[in-house]
A and B are shown apart, each in its own frame.
Chain A
């Protein structure tokens, strides 16, 4: 089964569970969790079901296309089901079967791994799902986002698409995966990995990135004051991306990391607050 068929199977399965299939978001993010389709939808009381593919950029994971397992951009399949149903683990297991995995011959484990994203003030409780020692998904009961308690509680399932596909195809090299029947992952992504690795690690302007971080931070602040949480949040995502690039350039220490993450989190928490409390007379939150 090709990667694109895997995506189609997951789409079909989760659409069958009542999920709205969201388009991929168009701002760089490090994880599917960070896109507005998750971040804003888990806030507030309204039940919500969504599923989507989201490219996740992690500059430090780049390996110039030379490592068979690591890439600076991979693809996540993100599912949010709110509130979490009682048999959500069972539904997840069914989704794996729908992808053609016969679990009778394998060891599937829900291994303690509480998820936390200090950048967006979010944390949850859950597991990494291991299939014969391979981490294929992250399974989380969201407890907080943007520094706010969420209620009802959403279940978040994030599949690592490349990982899962390598398992399905039995391949050892990510670049050997079939995206479709006649296009390989190599065809699509190798040049991108080579060039972006060079950019992320060696070329990105440190001074420029610090400036852009500062500009986006200021912009976010202004937009929060204007009570425009949706565009403000985009600026927070940009801050996060510039931070990740600076990190790949190796210029952020442990303590500076804490400080910059706190800067972004403070903004994101303000965004969340503005989002859930519409100004008097304004239209309700999305």
Chain B
């Protein structure tokens, strides 16, 4: 039989709608499964004002026989088999004649009992309890109360439509009783409708211009957009996140196309599209990558016959663009470089100084970085960029659209005729803003971004400001993840400890904690962030431990080690090799280092192992130096058969000291070759898991 639930709400944001649909479905399935009602076919639909769940469910639990036991046999019958009052009372309480009682054997002895057919609960009954339970269980990133109620939810709930097999499933919560009614579009078709099935619900709402399926609305928006842009030979400037938001936000999608005066096209496309997207949520239209003086908006209406909606958007957009142009012109007139002194008045952090101080530090840090990165040929330009990059913070445009920080700096630097590497470094130095963002495309952008992020991290950590749990007021975690992402994407091998020390020195006496303490904090902090990124890439925690255990001073190499381990984890040699490495670790623990002398070998197996090791070592050392851990691992894995043979045939702990020490020395040498690739002992293999 069909189940249909509509939770009528005030406008919910897209992310909350998604959470509600997923969690509610899971919760309902769980409740129904516990009651032995299969609910695999639950489907969901939604608008910003409706959360909809529907699907076929069994009518109820199956009927079953249940055995109920009463008093002991001895108390139930007299010696001649006459039922006692106890037996009569039990039979009465179960609604059966005393003759229906039977004797049942239990662990505690013989009792009287009665078998009775028990009707399964109806699904409607189960739902009447399960639905309110599920609603109560939902949780959102930000929750609210309303009126005098105590329920916390995403937005106020205004009604429940709940049917099973066409009948109302009755429940009430927060003063609302479930029913079989809902209303059409809040503004345009606010009629109340009564429904018996999902099909009727969907059809009647469609007649009132409400489309309940978000995918269908999205397709409708896309089709309307296509029909509007095709005739002008243009295309939509893609913005999938905006499309998803708008498909959620409207019940009756209607796309409006409008225009703005061509004179605004002199503004950069970044400014135009930001001004259009923020606020009015408009799409930009482009032809061959060039912005056209047109926009597309998605309205929640049946149509715009009088053109009021288009005209309204045009008027608002014109004002916004006029504002943006005013900022653009003011900023150009004031000039980027000429505004540099204003950075002296803008504090970066109370104890760490102004943005002018920061710019000066950045100049020193990029110079150092450039010296460490061979491919960097633009030290001079980077120095200029470091001095310029923060000035856009005092421009009008960034004040209005903070999301354009960096971007505006780049555009203004370009307008002032700075060379390309300077412009790119300034424009890209905030990237990546989040781990899902791309790293800077240019090496200059990458270096300046590293310098900026590291400067902030070292400074704040150096003041002893803790980043814990939910408290990260300076966004240090995001910054550190950005650092990791950049060195990975740009393949930058850097001695981090020395770099951080350099930055601490640049800060001079501004920092509060002693150098060693800052470095210890930072080591742990960066290891944590790299761990997080590797975990996001789906790498097992023990492989991450093994990779980081071999050293984290060079974040990029630590990353490569983890990737190499991950690439080998399913190969047949992996597990035997790990076990062998663990055996090495165990046997060598507590042993002093001894010198290796090839002339002391006596057994064939040890000579062969030594020969194999020498060969492998010569090959593997350059691989490790290059950071090619995949290749290095492939080569060292070849030692495993010889090592196995060695352990089988050779007595390591030989009585004769000379032999014993030399064998240990061979194993120590092997281990020393393995450790820069990974700390294999930290890998967890199947056998061990079973033991644990």
Residues of A at the B interface (CB closer than 8 Å) are 60, 63, 67-70, 83-86, 89, 93, 103-112, 114, 124-125, 127, 130-135, 141, 143, 151-153, 155, 167, 172, 250-256, 258-259
Contacts and interface: CB of A to CB of B under 8 A. Distances in A.
A258 B311 CA distance: 40
Contact of B319 (A69, A167, A254, A259): A69
B358 to A, nearest CB: 10
Contacts of B155: 125
A58 to B, nearest CB: 13
B308 A133 contact: no
Interface stretch (B85-93, B139-147, B165-173): B139-147
Interface in B435-467: none
B317 A133 contact: yes
A84 B146 contact: yes
A141 B249 contact: no
Nearest to B13: A112
B154 to A, nearest CB: 8
Contacts of B146: 84, 141, 153, 155
A178 B51 CA distance: 45
B685 to A, nearest CB: 49
30 contacts: A67-B323, A83-B147, A93-B187, A106-B312, A107-B304, A107-B309, A108-B187, A108-B300, A109-B249, A110-B10, A111-B281, A125-B142, A130-B280, A132-B311, A132-B313, A133-B280, A134-B315, A141-B146, A152-B148, A251-B345, A251-B346, A252-B346, A252-B347, A253-B355, A254-B346, A254-B393, A255-B347, A255-B348, A255-B349, A256-B347
B144 A143 contact: yes
Contacts of A107: 299-301, 304, 309, 312
Given A69-B323, A104-B187, A110-B11, 6 more contacts: A69-B322, A83-B147, A112-B11, A133-B282, A250-B345, A259-B350
A250 B394 contact: yes
B355 A125 contact: no
Contacts of B394: 250
A253 B312 contact: no
Pick the 8 closest A-B CB pairs, nearest first: A132-B312, A253-B347, A107-B299, A125-B144, A133-B313, A112-B13, A253-B346, A110-B11
Nearest to A106: B308
A106 B309 contact: yes
Interface string B660-685: 00000000000000000000000000
Interface string B531-555: 0000000000000000000000000
B71 interface: no
Interface in B334-375: 342, 345-350, 354-355
B297 A133 contact: yes
B491 to A, nearest CB: 33
Contacts of B282: 133
A152 B156 CA distance: 14
B279 interface: yes
A83 to B, nearest CB: 5
B147 A86 contact: yes
Among A85, A110, A124, chain B packs the most CB atoms within 10 A around the CB of A110
A255 B147 CA distance: 37
Nearest to B349: A255
A258 B399 contact: no
B609 to A, nearest CB: 61
Nearest to B252: A107
Given A108-B187, A141-B144, A152-B147, A172 B309 contact: no
A67 B187 CA distance: 34
Interface string B287-309: 00000000001011100111011
B318 interface: yes
A85 B147 contact: yes
Contacts of B186: 89, 93
Contacts of B473: 258
B158 interface: yes
B455 to A, nearest CB: 14
- The residue in B156, B158, B394 that gathers the most chain A C-beta atoms within 10 A of its C-beta is B156
Contacts of A108: 187, 300
Nearest to A93: B187
Contacts of B342: 250
Contact of B148 (A83, A112, A253): A83
B567 interface: no
A68 B306 CA distance: 25
